[in-house]
Chain A
Amino acid sequence: MKILVPVKRVVDYNVKVRVKPDASDVDLANVKMSMNPFDEIAVEEAVRLKEAGIATEVIAVSAGIANCQETLRTAMAIGADRGILIQTDVELQPLAVAKLLKAVCEKEQPQIVLCGKQAIDDDANQTGQMLAGLMNWPQATFASKIVTAGQLATVTREIDGGLETVEVPLPAVLTVDLRLNEPRYATLPNIMKAKKKPLETTNPATLGVDVSPRLKTLKVAEPPKRTAGIKVADASDLVMKLKTEAKVI
């Protein structure tokens, strides 16, 4: 079976982001960018399914500026077979990405689309669910375990209060949680090999998708700063302060 893995280029998770002085956006100039950590887990899972003989081909797809091809090369270094870049300079929101992915799904006919559960920049947690809705496919989100057998995927999902297991017929959209696996490091030989793997470039117009943003960001701001309080000497001092000063116990 074919597996499609959407990957997003985002600010590296270790970076402390700053807001631009005009409050229009986050300042991304000269900031380290990486593959969204949840997407790395999705690529790893797809590659493991290929290594297990279940998947025949793993296709990584990314939408955004030309630099997103670096993210696709990273996916191919982990083990994806080829990449598709949907190149655009327009700011992409989840609905637009889901529509672009729908167009790719219609062309490539994957059995599973494996998405990260959310991107660590917009924290939307929407794209996989939207794609499933647009394709009228079943969805299984926040997966911490995926088992496929024939035309069925059995997925253990992380929910509030514990775990649940669901069965969905394929084709389906699955979104992955952190606990699913530990992504491998791409080795230098694999990084070199990834440079030779096919990377197709297309754009929203070719795919016939209107990607204009639906939500307008009026401003961004830093949240109110929390400042360091005081250090207490010992447990009795702490209990006294919580009782008499903070009055929370």
Chain B
Amino acid sequence: MAILVIAEHDHTSIKAATRNAVTAATKIGEIHLLVAGSACAAAADAAAGLTGVSKVLVADAPHYADQSPENLAALVVANVASHTHLLAAATTSGKNFMPRVAALLDVAQISEIIGVESADTFVRPIYAGNVVATVQSADPVKVITVRATAFEAAGDGGSARIESLGAGPDLAQNKLVGRELSKSERPELTAAKIIVSGGRGMGNGENFHRLLEPLADRLGAALGASRAAVDAGYVSNDYQVGQTGKIVAPQLYIAVGISGAIQHLAGMKDSKVIVAINKDAEAPIFQVADYGLVGDLFEVLPALQAELG
């Protein structure tokens, strides 16, 4: 009896969040990793090197190139035998196909777990992270997505064996037309050690980039945003931190011109150190900030930049 973790990858490397899902799986039992892709031998090799993984199952076929949820779910369901748990990272990809897998297996899914109590009992946040629930599953197969920020990333140093797997059918229900990815030299938001985040207080998109980018670059930080900043069009929505955006837990989160609505706090309140820069001393963000600086961000940010040199 083993756990099947479905790896998220770009056909050459394994996505960071999968490493966190592997760590969550080590708390339950033996780990097999499924890599479904097209010309994905490099990703399979990378998967075999993850600490804690005993076997990598590879399904290599052209119809897994786009990772459509229909094809992926069918493949996972066909290979569930002898696995007691199915795990994937709670990324947009994991959230997309895993509930489909659960429905096809007629079992419940446990979403975005932040803790493993035992093989059938898990902890997960509800109500935008304002409540944590401990839930127990009686289903024969546990289908679980894992909140990456709640578990350490599995390192390299493993040497799992690689087995190839027969491909499932091409259901051809979903055709990828194109992807438009935000290009950035900065670290990925969900994996960054430091995040500098801006809100409506930035005033406009130009200020956002002019004032926050140099600070982020100086600190080697990723850039984030509140929903207000995204809705106002300052930055694109993949910057958004919050219940409906990305969940982050960096070492340092610097919130600039962000009031701290429940929705935003849900996405960042597990950060190790929170700094708030806001001119409104009553802003809710100061109730969770370790260091608060009440002041006009248009004066504070240049001063901060000068101070950091």
Write the residues of chain A forming the contact surface with B, with a CB cutoff of 8 angstroms: 11, 13-14, 16-17, 19, 26, 93-95, 98, 120-134, 137-142, 144, 154, 157-169, 177-179, 214-223, 226-232, 234-236, 238-239, 241-242, 246, 248-249
- Residues from chain A with a CB closer than 8 A to the CB of B292 are 228-232
Q: Judge whether A241 and B291 touch: CB under 8 Å.
A: yes
Query: Known pairs A165-B177, A226-B288. 11 more at Cβ < 8 A?
Result: A16-B262, A124-B99, A126-B102, A139-B69, A141-B96, A162-B236, A214-B137, A222-B132, A228-B288, A229-B291, A249-B194
Distance A133 CA – B173 CA, assembled complex (angstroms): 12
B97 at the interface (CB under 8 A from A): yes
B210 at the interface (CB under 8 A from A): no
Knowing A133-B104, A228-B287, A242-B275, the reply to whether A161 touches B243 (Cβ < 8 A) is no
Q: Judge whether B103 and A249 touch: CB under 8 Å.
A: no
Distance A120 CA – B262 CA, assembled complex (angstroms): 11
Q: Judge whether B238 and A160 touch: CB under 8 Å.
A: yes
Distance A13 CA – B265 CA, assembled complex (angstroms): 13
B204 at the interface (CB under 8 A from A): no
List 15 A-B pairs, Cβ < 8 Å.
Answer: A16-B130, A95-B103, A120-B128, A120-B243, A123-B127, A130-B103, A138-B174, A154-B177, A164-B176, A165-B180, A177-B244, A220-B126, A229-B290, A235-B300, A235-B303
B100 at the interface (CB under 8 A from A): yes
Which of chain A's residues has its CB closest to B304's CB?
A235
Which of chain A's residues has its CB closest to B308's CB?
A239
In the complex, what's the smallest C-beta–C-beta distance from A144 to chain B, in angstroms? 7
Q: Judge whether B139 and A238 touch: CB under 8 Å.
A: no
**Residue in B104, B133, B251, B291 whose CB lies within 8 Å of A217:** B133
Q: Judge whether A95 and B238 touch: CB under 8 Å.
A: no
Q: Judge whether B99 and A122 touch: CB under 8 Å.
A: no
Q: Judge whether A217 and B135 touch: CB under 8 Å.
A: yes
B185 at the interface (CB under 8 A from A): no
Distance A249 CA – B128 CA, assembled complex (angstroms): 29
B294 at the interface (CB under 8 A from A): yes
Distance A141 CA – B98 CA, assembled complex (angstroms): 12
Count of A-B residue pairs with CB < 8 Å: 250
Distance A121 CA – B128 CA, assembled complex (angstroms): 7
**Residue in A129, A142, A157, A164 whose CB lies within 8 Å of B103:** A129
- Residues from chain A with a CB closer than 8 A to the CB of B132 are 220-223
Knowing A17-B127, A223-B132, the reply to whether A159 touches B174 (Cβ < 8 A) is no
Knowing A125-B111, A246-B291, the reply to whether A130 touches B102 (Cβ < 8 A) is yes
- Residues from chain A with a CB closer than 8 A to the CB of B130 are 16-17, 222-223
- Residues from chain B with a CB closer than 8 A to the CB of A236 are 303, 307
- Residues from chain B with a CB closer than 8 A to the CB of A177 are 244
**Residue in A133, A218, A231, A248 whose CB lies within 8 Å of B135:** A218
Q: Judge whether B243 and A139 touch: CB under 8 Å.
A: no
Q: Judge whether B175 and A167 touch: CB under 8 Å.
A: yes
In the complex, what's the smallest C-beta–C-beta distance from A107 to chain B, in angstroms? 19
| B83-104 interface code vs A (CB 8 A; 1 in, 0 out) | 0000000011101111111111
Distance A159 CA – B179 CA, assembled complex (angstroms): 9
Which of chain A's residues has its CB closest to B290's CB?
A229
B54 at the interface (CB under 8 A from A): no
5 closest Cβ contacts across the A-B interface?
A133-B103, A229-B290, A129-B99, A130-B103, A138-B173
B246 at the interface (CB under 8 A from A): yes
Write the residues of chain B forming the contact surface with A, with a CB cutoff of 8 angstroms: 68-70, 73, 91-93, 95-104, 106-112, 121, 125-139, 173-182, 188, 190, 194, 219, 227, 236-238, 243-244, 246, 251-252, 262-263, 269, 272-275, 286-295, 300, 303-304, 306-308
Distance A19 CA – B252 CA, assembled complex (angstroms): 29
- Residues from chain A with a CB closer than 8 A to the CB of B287 are 226-228
Which of chain A's residues has its CB closest to B189's CB?
A160
- Residues from chain A with a CB closer than 8 A to the CB of B68 are 166
- Residues from chain A with a CB closer than 8 A to the CB of B237 are 144, 158, 179
- Residues from chain B with a CB closer than 8 A to the CB of A235 are 293, 300, 303-304, 306-307
Which of chain B's residues has its CB closest to A129's CB?
B99
Q: Judge whether A168 and B136 touch: CB under 8 Å.
A: no
Q: Judge whether B173 and A169 touch: CB under 8 Å.
A: yes
Q: Judge whether B291 and A230 touch: CB under 8 Å.
A: yes
Knowing A126-B99, A134-B103, the reply to whether A216 touches B69 (Cβ < 8 A) is no
In the complex, what's the smallest C-beta–C-beta distance from B138 to chain A, in angstroms? 7
Which of chain A's residues has its CB closest to B309's CB?
A239
Q: Judge whether B127 and A130 touch: CB under 8 Å.
A: no
Distance A219 CA – B132 CA, assembled complex (angstroms): 8
Q: Judge whether A160 and B93 touch: CB under 8 Å.
A: yes
**Residue in B112, B127, B176, B291 whose CB lies within 8 Å of A242:** B291
In the complex, what's the smallest C-beta–C-beta distance from B43 to chain A, in angstroms? 17
Interface centre among B125, B273, B289, B295 (most CB of A within 10 A): B273
- Residues from chain B with a CB closer than 8 A to the CB of A169 are 173
**Residue in B92, B138, B177, B251 whose CB lies within 8 Å of A160:** B92
In the complex, what's the smallest C-beta–C-beta distance from A77 to chain B, in angstroms? 24
Q: Judge whether B269 and A226 touch: CB under 8 Å.
A: yes
**Residue in B106, B108, B173, B243 whose CB lies within 8 Å of A123:** B243
In the complex, what's the smallest C-beta–C-beta distance from A36 to chain B, in angstroms? 12
